[in-house]
């Protein structure tokens, strides 16, 4: 700021300046608390992984519904599928961790 920006303090009575400072004290405290809370929320938001979708939401929802329908149909026609998938995943995890 330029030096001229603070000249208003020379033209206002010191008592009025003190009164204004007292009236704004709570506003400044509230602003400080809100700023601190915003920083905390922003840090939590930044810590979460981001998802980027390359397809529109209406298509993504349809794809999810189709996936769940396909899964239900496969489980109906191939009852042992879930157990086989669990075993394959466990085997892959054990292989990746160095176990056999």
If you ran DSSP here, which 8-state letter would residue 12 be given?
Answer: S
Least confident of 50-54, 77-81, 85-89: 50-54
Domain boundaries, the chain: 7-50, 53-100
Q: What is residue 30's three-state secondary structure?
A: helix
> pLDDT tens digit string along 14-39?
899 899 999 999 999 999 999 999 99
Q: Are 82 and 75 in contact (CB under 8 A)?
A: yes
Band of pLDDT at residue 53, cut at 50, 70 and 90 = low
Confidence at residue 2, expressed as pLDDT on a 0 to 100 scale:
60
């Amino acid at each position: 700021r330029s030096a001229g920006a603070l000249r208003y303090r020379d033209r206002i009575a010191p008592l009025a300046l003190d009164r204004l400072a007292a009236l704004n004290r709570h506003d400044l405290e509230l602003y400080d608390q809100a700023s601190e809370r915003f920083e905390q929320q922003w840090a939590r938001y930044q810590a979460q992984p981001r998802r980027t979708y390359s397809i529109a939401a209406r298509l993504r929802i349809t794809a999810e519904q189709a996936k769940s329908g396909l899964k239900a149909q496969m489980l109906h026609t191939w009852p042992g599928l879930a157990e086989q998938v669990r075993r394959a995943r466990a085997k892959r995890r054990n292989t990746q961790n160095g176990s056999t």
